[in-house]
């Protein structure tokens, strides 16, 4: 039946191709004049296109049209059909339709030009089509339609400035002030990019008239002018802005503008004169104004204006009633200034007097709303209630107190535990982060994405996002920002300019690469995904992955370096689509993604047998492929799989035990500790928590159990108690089982194992520390980490969760061990034979030397001090022997020969 459907499809495609060929030939033979073409002709071609799409014959038809155009380059039919098919396939090349429209523009067929432009726009916004449509409406004097098209055009053409200004002028004439201001702002930035200063200055003056209070906007534009055009032009704009604030007697802003001018031109006599006048006006009521102007040499041209201003501002902040901070005495309030002496009331030092010179160097000036002032002078309960109930106020207060730049760590340091408890901080900080992200009164610093500032004027979410994007330096961190913006925001079209600026960062990787890196590949995948949703944002770059893949020397290396999970998935899908050897690549890439989806796809296409060789390679080289081996063992392989692979489960367990040992040693040596700690934990959980070893012991034969247990026994890094816990289970199945050592059952406490009283108390304290201190602290860490957002890429959250898993495991193990431990006191020790709590002197007949050993339990074992566990191989061999006995035994292929010379009760607690 499938074959019949395929045959039918092929027949339909051949029929459609033949029909298109006939149309092309007819056009060539009749040589129809352009004047005879009408919109109806194209509507008839659209019916043919509908048939082409319905039968999925686009590729074949496009090939026929391309071949025809090779000989007849101005074929109307070929240009139209090939152009529409290309648009439907989201190909960037729209040259055929551009050629077609140009033909009819030259012949003034405006109706057809409009039809063709609108036809292109059916597939998404397009600069050429919109501009052509605008020219058409302008020529035909259709003003209403023209303005609508202009508004669409400026959203996709970020370089267009004149049209934006024309729209602003129109809105202004219509009395729509807010809309006019928005357009003027947009036009200003575009003219700055085009370096057209006459237009910049004209718009600058208009905006001073409409929104002079938006200093953040003016400052941002001024910085852009300085960087793009020149600092001299930036100074001109600031000089134009200054008179408004001087007239309004807004001395703070006036001084701020003059400082910016002096940053560009420190020797400007006009700016120096004006700033001195503004300072006199601002501090007119200050008792020491003229004295501080004199002391700072502010009026003296020989002194650097920046040094003089800093000196003046430091002095002028000392006045009656102002607050100060001293590193030892805390917050204080200035009570009086007389001559050169300042009297201050500190919390810890009342009526303290010091010279002005000393005060300037030793004290920090604080505003009345500084968080330190509030914490020292405001009722604690009221401050606590205010901070909890009014989070925006609290954020503004703390951030402004920290020189208007603070991250969450600094905010926490000011509030916890002095105002909020650690527990309250968890929920408070979650709400605070949301406010910092969404409230337009807060913004991110341009050079530090995680530092926040309080804005003097509200900032839009789009500007906040763009600032955060610019401040973030990491490529994949920027990917997350633009993805969040592109797929979660609703007004992209209205703010396409900001979004386009972010998108251009990734487009740059696509345009100018010399070799294909993980950034180039990721950029192609990301931009394609965004353009699929917003076609008008297409940067005009062909997104054909086959040529790109052909330039990659190592796909595995590229894939490994990509840290964004979504992009990895996109890349896998693209590899399957464009690479003939995708199956082999999937196998190579699997260790870097560890996803069941990859294996399932391979099995669906090639069956389970296709993975046999790969799985066997992983098993046979588990040391080199440890992460892949552990993942497959825990998440994919089943008893049925081991049977298919011809691998005994014993081999898997032995490999897992080896990895437990290897990772323990590498953790100790601080080698890739993070990864090894994670693998060590996973191996431990698999073997012990999931009781795989116990299951193996209850099912396998004695020889297999002996091999696995012997390997386990030799693991120095593994707690002896864990090994001991398995012995009763083994003895229950195999009564004559020979444990590592002399072969007889060791002395074992009925509850589990023997310990000294001091060790037991230490373990109890360790358990108490975990339950009462470590775990609660970890819970707070998790709460704080959750507050950081996006748990998928949240390193703090992952680290805290790993620690939680470790603590829970330690609590379970300690609890279980304490239940099994039996305390043996020194007064109860029997010194007639070697046993727990004895100290023995042995004569080594091989070496003719004497050796002393104290026999205690696994918790007290310290071989470096000759204290050995009665469960260790040597301790096990010595147990129950008496003075005078000759001993001979082998441990790990080494022969031992001893004579017991003395046994006495050991000194221990």
pLDDT in tens, 148-160: 999 989 887 888 9
Q: What is the helix, strand, coil percentage profile of the chain, to 5? A: 65, 10, 25
What pLDDT is recorded for position 487? 80
- pLDDT greater than 50 at residue 566: yes
Distance of CA 160 to the CA centre of its chain: 35
Distance of CA 788 to the CA centre of its chain: 10
Q: State the Cα–Cα distance between residues 631 and 614, nearest whole angstrom.
A: 14
What pLDDT is recorded for position 789? 53
SS (H, E, C) 709-773: HHHHHCCCCCCHHHHHHHHHHHHHHCCCCCCCCCCCCCCCCCCCEEECHHHHHHHHHHHHHHHHH
| Per-residue burial over 139-154, b = 16 or more CB atoms within 10 Å of its CB, e = otherwise | eeeeeeebbebbebbb
Helices (H) and strands (E) in the chain, counts: 44, 14
Q: Which structure tokens are listed for 579?
A: 């690479």
The H or E element containing residue 331 is strand 330-338
- Report whether 451 contacts 486 (CB < 8 A): no
Q: State the Cα–Cα distance between residues 688 and 810, nearest whole angstrom.
A: 13
What pLDDT is recorded for position 538? 74
- Report whether 450 contacts 407 (CB < 8 A): yes
Residue bearing the bigger pLDDT, 171 or 780: 171
What pLDDT is recorded for position 746? 41
Q: Give residue 744's pLDDT band: very low, low, confident or very high (50, 70, 90).
A: very low
Among 438, 474, 476, 479, CA closest to 459 = 438
Question: Given CA atoms 576, 580, 582, 583 in this order, what sign does their dihedral have?
Answer: positive
What pLDDT is recorded for position 32? 59
If you ran DSSP here, which 8-state letter would residue 311 be given?
Answer: H
Q: Which structure tokens are listed for 570?
A: 């996109």
pLDDT in tens, 696-722: 999 999 888 988 988 888 787 787 778
Q: Which phi and psi angles does 268 have, rounded to 5°?
A: -70, 110
Among 444-458, 513-527, 667-681, 788-802, the minimum mean pLDDT is found in 788-802
State the residue for tokens 């669906």. Answer: 604
Q: Is the peptide bond before 417 cis (omega within 30 degrees of 0)?
A: yes
State the residue for tokens 């009086």. Answer: 336
Q: Which structure tokens are listed for 830?
A: 């029997």
What sections of 378-453 are H helices per DSSP? 380-389, 391-401, 408-415, 422-438
Tell me the average pLDDT of the chain.
87
What pLDDT is recorded for position 336? 85
- pLDDT greater than 50 at residue 750: no
For residue 423, give the 3-state DSSP assignment: helix
Alpha-carbon distances, residue 214 vs 233, 249, 253, 497 (angstroms): 20, 16, 11, 20
Q: Which structure tokens are listed for 240?
A: 């134009």
Task: Provide the 10 A C-beta neighbour count for residue 339.
Answer: 9
Q: Give residue 259's pLDDT band: very low, low, confident or very high (50, 70, 90).
A: very high
Q: Which phi and psi angles does 844 have, rounded to 5°?
A: -85, 105
Alpha-carbon distances, residue 191 vs 218, 359, 622 (angstroms): 14, 50, 62
Q: Which structure tokens are listed for 640?
A: 């049925």
Among 348, 418, 413, CA closest to 383 = 418
What pLDDT is recorded for position 533? 80
Give CA angle at 628 (624, 632), nearest 5°.
135
For residue 289, give the 3-state DSSP assignment: helix
- pLDDT greater than 90 at residue 855: yes
Residue bearing the bigger pLDDT, 682 or 158: 682
Q: Give residue 850's pLDDT band: very low, low, confident or very high (50, 70, 90).
A: very high
Q: Which structure tokens are listed for 394?
A: 């609290």
**Highest mean pLDDT, choosing among 190-194, 284-288, 868-872:** 190-194
What pLDDT is recorded for position 751? 44
């Amino acid at each position: 039946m499938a074959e019949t459907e395929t045959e039918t499809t092929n027949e339909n495609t051949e029929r459609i191709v033949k029909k298109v060929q006939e149309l092309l030939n007819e056009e060539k033979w009749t040589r129809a004049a352009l004047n005879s073409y009408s919109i109806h002709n194209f509507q008839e071609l659209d019916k043919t296109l509908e048939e082409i799409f319905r039968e999925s014959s686009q590729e074949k038809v496009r090939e026929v049209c391309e071949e025809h155009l090779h000989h007849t380059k101005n074929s109307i039919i070929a240009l139209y059909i090939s152009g529409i098919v290309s648009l439907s396939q989201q190909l960037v090349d729209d040259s055929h339709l551009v050629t077609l429209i140009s033909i009819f523009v030259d012949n003034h067929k405006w109706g057809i030009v409009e039809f063709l432009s609108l036809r292109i726009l059916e597939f998404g916004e397009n600069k050429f089509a919109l501009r052509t449509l605008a020219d058409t409406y302008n020529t035909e004097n259709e003003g209403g339609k023209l303005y609508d098209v202009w508004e669409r055009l400026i959203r996709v053409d970020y370089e267009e400035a004149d049209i934006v200004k024309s729209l602003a002028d129109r809105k202004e004439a219509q009395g729509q002030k807010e809309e006019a201001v928005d357009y003027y702002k947009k036009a200003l930035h575009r003219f700055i990019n085009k370096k057209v200063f006459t237009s910049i200055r004209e718009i600058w003056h208009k905006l001073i008239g409409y929104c002079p209070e938006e200093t953040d906007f003016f400052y941002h534009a001024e910085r852009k002018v300085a960087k793009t055009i020149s600092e001299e032009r930036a100074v001109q704009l600031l000089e134009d802005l200054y008179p408004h604030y001087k007239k309004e007697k807004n001395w703070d802003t006036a001084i701020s503008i003059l400082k910016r001018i002096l940053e560009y031109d420190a020797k400007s006599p006009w700016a120096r004169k004006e700033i001195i006048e503004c300072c006199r006006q601002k501090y007119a009521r200050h008792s020491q104004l003229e004295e501080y102007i004199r002391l700072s040499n502010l009026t003296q041209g020989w002194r650097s204006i920046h040094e003089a201003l800093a000196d003046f501002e430091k002095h002028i902040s000392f006045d009656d009633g102002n607050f100060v901070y001293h590193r030892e005495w805390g917050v204080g309030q200035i009570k009086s200034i007389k001559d050169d002496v300042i009297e201050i009331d500190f919390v810890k030092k009342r009526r303290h007097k010091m010279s002005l010179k000393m005060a300037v160097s030793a004290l920090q000036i604080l505003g009345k709303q500084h968080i330190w002032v509030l914490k020292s002078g405001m009722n604690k309960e009221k401050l606590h209630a205010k901070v909890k109930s009014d989070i925006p106020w609290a954020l503004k207060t703390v951030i402004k107190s920290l020189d208007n730049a603070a991250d969450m760590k600094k905010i926490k340091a000011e509030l916890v535990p002095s105002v909020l408890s650690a527990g309250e901080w968890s929920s408070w900080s979650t709400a605070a982060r949301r406010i910092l992200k969404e409230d337009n009164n807060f913004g991110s610093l341009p050079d530090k994405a995680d530092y926040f500032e309080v804005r003097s004027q509200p900032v839009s979410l789009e500007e906040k996002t763009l600032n955060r994007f610019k401040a973030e330096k990491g490529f994949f961190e920027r990917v997350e920002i633009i993805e969040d913006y592109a797929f979660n925001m609703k007004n992209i079209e209205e703010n396409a300019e900001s979004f386009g600026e972010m998108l251009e960062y990734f487009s740059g990787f696509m345009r100018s690469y010399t070799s294909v890196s993980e950034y180039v590949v990721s950029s192609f995948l990301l931009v394609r995904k965004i353009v699929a949703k917003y076609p008008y944002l297409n940067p005009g770059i062909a997104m054909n992955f086959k040529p790109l893949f052909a330039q990659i020397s190592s796909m595995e290396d590229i894939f490994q370096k990509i840290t964004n999970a979504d992009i990895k998935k996109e890349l896998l899908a693209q590899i399957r689509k464009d690479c003939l050897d995708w199956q082999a690549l999937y196998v190579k890439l699997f260790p870097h993604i560890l996803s069941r989806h990859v294996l399932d796809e391979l099995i669906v296409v090639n069956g389970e047998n296709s993975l046999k060789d790969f799985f066997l390679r992983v098993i046979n080289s588990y040391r080199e492929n440890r992460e892949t081996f552990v993942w497959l063992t825990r998440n994919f392989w089943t008893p049925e799989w081991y049977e298919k692979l011809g691998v005994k489960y014993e081999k898997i367990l032995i490999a897992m035990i080896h990895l437990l040992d290897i990772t323990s040693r590498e953790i100790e040596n601080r080698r890739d500790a993070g990864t090894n700690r994670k693998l060590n934990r996973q191996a431990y959980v698999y073997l012990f928590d999931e009781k795989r070893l116990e299951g193996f012991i209850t099912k396998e034969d004695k020889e297999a159990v002996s091999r696995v247990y012997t390997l386990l026994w030799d693991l120095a890094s593994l707690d002896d108690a864990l090994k001991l816990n398995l012995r009763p289970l083994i003895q229950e199945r195999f009564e004559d089982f020979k444990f590592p050592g002399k072969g007889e059952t060791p002395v074992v406490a009925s509850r589990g194992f023997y310990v000294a009283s001091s060790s037991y108390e230490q373990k109890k304290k360790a358990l108490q520390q975990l339950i009462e201190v470590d775990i609660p602290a970890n819970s707070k860490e998790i709460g704080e980490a959750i507050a950081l957002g996006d748990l998928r890429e949240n390193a703090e959250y992952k680290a805290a969760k790993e620690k939680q898993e470790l603590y829970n495991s330690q609590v379970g193990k300690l609890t279980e061990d304490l239940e099994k431990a039996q305390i043996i006191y020194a007064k109860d020790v029997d010194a007639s034979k070697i046993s727990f709590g004895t100290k023995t002197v042995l004569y080594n007949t091989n070496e003719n030397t004497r050796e002393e050993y104290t026999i205690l339990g696994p918790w007290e074992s310290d071989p470096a001090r000759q204290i050995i566990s009665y469960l260790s191989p040597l301790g096990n061999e010595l147990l129950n022997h008496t003075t005078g006995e000759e001993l001979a035994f082998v441990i790990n292929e080494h022969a031992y020969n001893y004579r017991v010379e003395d046994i006495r009760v050991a000194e221990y607690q």
